Structure 1
């Protein structure tokens, strides 16, 4: 009496998973329904919508350390200054003011965010949300920290009337995010640049400073004056 062993399954076949042809068909169906994302959004019409880029607080621990250092220097200057040492007292007062501004910015704006979505820029603060459609954005910039510290954030120049702020003649900072340190600032600016480029909106560094110092006019060359909101 002889015993014939059962035939071995073909190479690459797992009895628990099924036939290779069935696996390949299932894998193909999964890929078609997964909706892989790329720079321009989802491929095909059945993919998921792109995830918006979110800008928020960064380097907060570093900023609070700066505030503590400012307070220590201010206290030291106050203690070491002679009775008529106005200059040193003034310097100490400026350091104390800077520390207070840093703490205020962190306490008030640490939860604020700027969502760079597919259709609009959405600023979320404790007061609520404000939306700026990409179709209305003429130019984008970034406002870094200044003295005394008030927070960094995107700057927009929008379609609208001649006296609107932000508007075509008056770019304005739309958020005050507590971002500290070069690395965090550089990352936020890079994300904003990429979002602007994806929507074919020009990015100009230090836009408010250029306009305030008279180095350029608010409007770009060739830009129509009737730039009302509601479409590009």
Structure 2
């Protein structure tokens, strides 16, 4: 529960899947890639295989750019499924990520939070140049963006959160983190004892070990009321 806890000065957000339509955009990118292949494979199987390789590569030293990891993960996934890798495949994927749009309610919700004098920061497992295209679609409401490129670490490492809090000049009790990613973000908010709001968009992903975040919403539109009910006006 958030009621009875101090009003945060900063709200931090995961980006992809929380603010930006990741699953939807990834399906479009994968369909484009597969349209040029003679092999017939299931796009959802490719996405699941890509996702597994991507997360494994993010945790393998040394730290590398998300662009490099995404390209390698895609190549590994295609080869695993018996599909030839094309020279343009990785570029199609990474270029598509920066064009992925926000969910319909996101820009209006961010505007409402700014009007209530909250400062807004994104913490994301990506590169600065990739996320720039997504942030440009968020109505100018985001105050700071902290990426894995800046932190030299990917979630669920606590380092990316610690780098963000240091950059914002705040202690953990001055922030609430909002995310749709239980297997990355909620792992770390639990470890750090951060207040968290899980946006459960019905993907089937669930928090590990029965963890219960401080609040659960189906989309971002309910955040201003949630905060109002907590007394943060």
Higher helix share: 2
TM over 0.5: no
Structure 2 length-normalised TM: 0.29
Larger Rg: 1 or 2?
1
Query: So what's the TM-score if we normalise by structure 1?
Result: 0.29
